[in-house]
Amino acid sequence: MTRLICASLTLFLLTLTIDSRSTFGQSNWKKAFGNPVLDAGAAGSWDEWGVLALGVYYDGAIYHMWYTSFSATEENIIGYASSPNASTWTKSPANPIMLPSAPGSWDEAGPGSPSVQFVDNKYEMWYDSRNAADITGIGYASSSDVSSWERYENNPVLRQGEDGEWDSEGIMTPMVLFENGVYHMWYSGWDGTNTRIGKATSTDGLNWTKFAGNPVLDLGPAGSWDAAYVLSPAVLIDGDVHRMWYEGSAAENPNSPFPDGGAIGYAESSDGGLTWTKHDANPVLEPGEAGSWDDHTVFPEVLRVGSNFQMWYSGQNEASSTWRIGYAIDNTKTSTEEFEPPTLSDVVFLEPNHPNPFNSVTKIAYRLADEGIVQLSVYNRLGVKVRDLVYEWQPAGSFQAEWNGRDDSNREVGAGLYQCRLTLGTRTQVHSMILLR
């Protein structure tokens, strides 16, 4: 089933505000400057139709992404990309790494929506697919090297429900976590009318038991933003709290389990991911402006690295129907533990820009004593931000950025006094710069 999932994303935050004691990493997201971070392939390439429906794993040094594309005949295909910093991605020369199975197979329509875990020194993937009769299932594959995958001989490991059940017409978009010897899967199910989210568990990743109380996340009330569909769960276990980001929509899409437009919502669970409470301010991520690359649809994948939540989202342009992948960062302190900020000198050091004054390009060096979400921005003398130079998660170390005297719309700004502000967590340093024309 081609994963034409719909969601939408517009993040309206203009300034960075960080509450050092917030316990939430759910509702204050900002798109990264320079999105999308993974684009569709060139004309004639295997992924020219778009990139979407992804799973991300961080091994402590490298971010690994497995993503879906599809052929001209709408068969799903999976590719792989890697990144040192969550926002700059390199596609593998070995792509595509998983293709549709032979005609007559349960997954002859191709693998999609990969979810990956690293357990017992191997990568494990769960993916959705269907056969020619539109009978869907969740399959399993394993790999020792991120790109050479072996499908399980007894796939699918999870099947759609029987007639009359909540997932009788299709299951898709698996999200799997391994915790304390148990595999937990959240997945989308369709009964021919409604798409909702259920849960299953397994001790080996192969033999699954569906929760008797499914679905665990239902539609919103009539008239709400997610009254038509909830699907595509992205779940994290954060201490005693389970956090879910999901796609929701109020727009009907007859005869399809996927919505026509939508947004990203957030919910929490305190009983192991069975009972969920939706966030009062949903949706937390909405569509881009008309004409933008993500003006029609988005759906999430979220990781926690250290105390920071990071989101990658699939976005679709309505006019071209092309899918791309963007990156968003959480603007709040995201740890469930109390945060005691260190002194300023222990956190960041912003060096004077050079040259200063300047009339074309100036270089700005800075050092970080700790990892985190970094914002390096330029403000005019009225305190209005004119340019984000850096807005991403960065590790500790030394960095350098450049400013060319232009704003976020690539327009030249006037001569005068500007401020360069470096922010990490709750700490900010400022230096003045003089632009000559």
- Top pLDDT among 30 and 302 is at 302
Domain-ending residue, one of 306, 330, 354? 330
Considering the domain architecture, whether residues 116 and 249 belong to the same structural domain is answered as: yes
What's the whole-number mean pLDDT along residues 198-224? Answer: 97
Residues 315 and 423 placed together within one structural domain of the fold? no
Residue 49 and residue 86 in one domain: yes
Residues 261-284: tens digit of each pLDDT? 789 999 999 999 999 999 999 999
Q: How confident is the model over 410-433, as a mean pLDDT? A: 87
* 42 and 128 fall within a common domain: yes
Q: Are residues 376 and 316 in the same domain?
A: no
Peptide bond into 156 cis (omega under 30): yes
Beta carbons of 22 and 336 less than 8 angstroms apart: no
pLDDT at 21: 27
- Same domain flag for 350 and 319: no
The reported pLDDT for the residue numbered 27 is 59
Same-domain pairing of 101 and 176: yes
Q: Is residue 7 part of a domain?
A: no
Chain mean pLDDT for the chain: 86
Please name which of 224, 223, 225, 215 lies closest in space to residue 194, comparing C-alpha atoms: 215
| CB contact burial 113-139 (16+ within 10 A = b; e otherwise) | bbbbbeeeeebbbbbbbbbeeeebbbb
Q: What is the pLDDT of residues 313-335, one digit of tens each?
A: 999 999 999 999 999 987 653 33
What's the first-to-final CA gap in the chain, in angstroms? Answer: 56
Percent of the chain with pLDDT over 90: 66
In a domain, 339, yes or no: no
Among 301, 330, 359, the domain boundary falls at 330
- Verify that 257 and 370 share a domain, yes or no: no
Same domain, 264 and 386: no
The contacts of residue 193 (CB under 8 Å, 6+ apart) are none
Given pLDDT bands bounded at 50, 70 and 90, which one contains residue 423? confident
271 in any annotated domain: yes
Q: Report the pLDDT value the prediction gives residue 370, as an integer from 0 to 100.
A: 79
Selection from 65, 7, 1, 2 nearest residue 264 by Cα: 7
Burial class of residue 267 (count of CB atoms within 10 Å of its CB; 0-12, 13-18, 19+): buried
Q: How far apart are CA 437 and CA 430, in angstroms?
A: 23
Residue 106 covered by a domain: yes
Q: Is residue 129 part of a domain?
A: yes
Last residue of some domain: 292, 307, 330?
330
**Alpha carbon separation from 129 to 51, 112, 167, 213, 315 (Å, rounded):** 17, 6, 15, 24, 21
367 part of a folded domain:
yes
Residue 56's CATH number: 2.115.10.20
Residue 422 belongs to a domain with what CATH number? 2.60.40.4070
Per the structure, how many domains does the chain have?
2
Question: Looking at residues 214-242, what average pLDDT do you find?
Answer: 95
Per-residue pLDDT, averaged over 340-356, amounts to 65
- Percent of the chain having pLDDT more than 70? 88
In a domain, 261, yes or no: yes
Q: Are residues 413 and 311 in the same domain?
A: no
Peptide bond into 341 cis (omega under 30): no
308 belongs to a structural domain: yes
Strand 182-190, strand 170-179: pairing: antiparallel
Considering the domain architecture, whether residues 316 and 375 belong to the same structural domain is answered as: no
The model's pLDDT over 379-407, given as tens digits with 9 standing for 90+, comes to: 988 888 999 999 888 888 889 999 999 99
Query: How many whole angstroms separate alpha carbon 34 and alpha carbon 390?
Result: 10
Does residue 274 sit in the same domain as residue 385? no
- Domain of 425? 344-435
Quick one: pLDDT at residue 113? 97
* Spatial separation of the C-alpha atoms in residues 378 and 433, rounded to whole Å: 9
pLDDT at residue 345 greater than cutoff 80: no
